[in-house]
Amino acid sequence: MPLCGYALAMISLPASLDRNSAVGLFEDVVGLLAGGATRVELDAGQVRHIDAFGAAAILEAHGAASQAGAEFRLRNVSSQTREVLALLRVDRVLSTSREVPAKEPLLARIGGWGFALTHSAVQQAALNVDGLFLTFIAPFRRKGPRVVQFIRQLNLIGTQATGIVVLISFLIGLIMALQSASQLRQFGANIYVADLVGISMTRELGPLLTAIIVAARSGSSIAAELGTMVVTEEVDALRVMGLNPRRFLVAPRFAAMVLALPCLAILADLAGITGGFVVGVFGLDIGANHYWNQTITALYTSDILSGLVKSFVFANVIAVVACHCGLSLTGGPEQVGRATTRAVVSSIIIVILADFFFTSIFYLLT
């Protein structure tokens, strides 16, 4: 309780300086300082019990007084209070709180980010080269991916994703046909729904949708699995056994991804076209043969091939980003979740950027 104000302020500390009284003490001191006190004295003569909350209030009051340019005194400290303050290492807490954390200059931070980004890009490029080598060249030298692991990954990435890829592509085909039909009907051009759905699915939406689904589904799984293997030292165990983790872990996943994704994209194309077909035939009264012939006439081999090229590139991106995020993980198990999120977000962004790049190239070429 404050005994007097203005220049000299004296507070007699309560018998129990704990969680219930500590905040009040600090607020009293702050009030006195705001009232113009230039010297604050705390009398600890009556204190019989003090805990970490009380000690924190004393340290904060001391800090507030120093900041206000006021003198701070703590009187009549009993040996018991002294012991508690020593146990709570108030000296160390005070000296740490006085340390001003070194702030890195902005330019240095930008440089650091740039370096980290470049380093990561170089590592991922190297991983991509290794993945391509191990998938397409090394098998002829009997050093390719392990067959059992490759088949397991092919099942996880390809077979098990078929259902969701087909379902979503079919629904997108339906939606696209319905949306475009409402516009084209005004010009009596319903039949061009077949062109629109066919070309959009094969050139653009089939590969892109498939890549996004696979990035979310399998990219996250790869990053989490490899990240966990890093945390449990399984990757280190492979290294000390003289086994290359890229051949053991990256190659089966990379090879399965570059094989599965284009196949899934073809299924997505077919499912999307089927969706458009259902709307065209049952909703717009276009004859089944008429719709089918219109789709075949509208599509060129180059449309399908450009979609497959995109799928192959997207597969590279997803596999490399996911493997890199998993294998470059540092820290404990809590980092696995972050690596997984990073893998999905990064691969989707890079996939869309790559799609934009390819679409621009194909547009300019045609």
Partner 1 sequence: MKTGEIFVIMGPSGCGKTTLLRTMTGLIEPLAGEVRYQGRVVKGQKALDEYRRSFGMVFQQGALLNSISIMENVALPLREHTDLPDWMIERVVEMKLAQVGLLEARNRKPMELSGGMRKRAGIARALALEPALLYFDEPSGGLDPITADGIDNLILSLTESLPVTVIVVTHELASIFKIADRVMMLRDGKIAVLSTREEVKNAKDEGVQHFIHRRAPAEEGAADAFLTEVGGGSE
In the complex, which residues of this chain contact partner 1 (CB under 8 A)? 44-45, 59, 62, 72-79, 82, 85-92, 94-95, 152, 229, 232-234, 236-243
For residue 138, give both structure tokens.
């090394």
What whole-number distance in Å separates Cα of residue 346 and Cα of residue 352? 10
Q: Which is nearer to partner 1, 90 or 166 (CB)?
A: 90
Q: Are 207 and 310 in contact (CB under 8 A)?
A: yes
Tell me, rounded to whole angstroms, the distance of Cα 47 from its chain centroid.
52
Q: How far is the CB of 233 from partner 1 (least distance, A)?
A: 4
The token pair that represents 220 in the structure block: 């996250």
Q: Map residue 233 onto helix, strand or coil.
A: coil
Phi-psi region of 209 (alpha: psi -120 to 50; beta: other; left: phi over 0): alpha
Which is nearer to partner 1, 21 or 244 (by Cβ)?
244
**What is the chain's alpha carbon radius of gyration, rounded to the nearest angstrom?**
34
Residue whose CB is less far from partner 1, 44 or 271: 44
Beta bridge partners of 74: 42
Shortest Å, Cβ 87 to partner 1: 7
Measured from the CB atom, the residue of 244 and 302 that comes closer to partner 1 is 244
8 A C-beta contact, residue 44 and residue 78: yes
Identify which of residues 75 and 119 has a Cβ nearer to partner 1 in the complex: 75
**Shortest distance in whole angstroms from residue 83 CB to partner 1:** 8
C-beta separation of 90 from 52 below 8 A: no
Q: How far is the CB of 251 from partner 1 (least distance, A)?
A: 14
Q: Which residues sit opposite 362 in a β-bridge?
A: none
Shortest Cβ 33–partner 1 spacing (Å): 15
Task: Kindly state the smallest distance separating residue 274's Cβ from partner 1, in Å.
Answer: 37
Nearer to partner 1, 76 or 179 (CB): 76
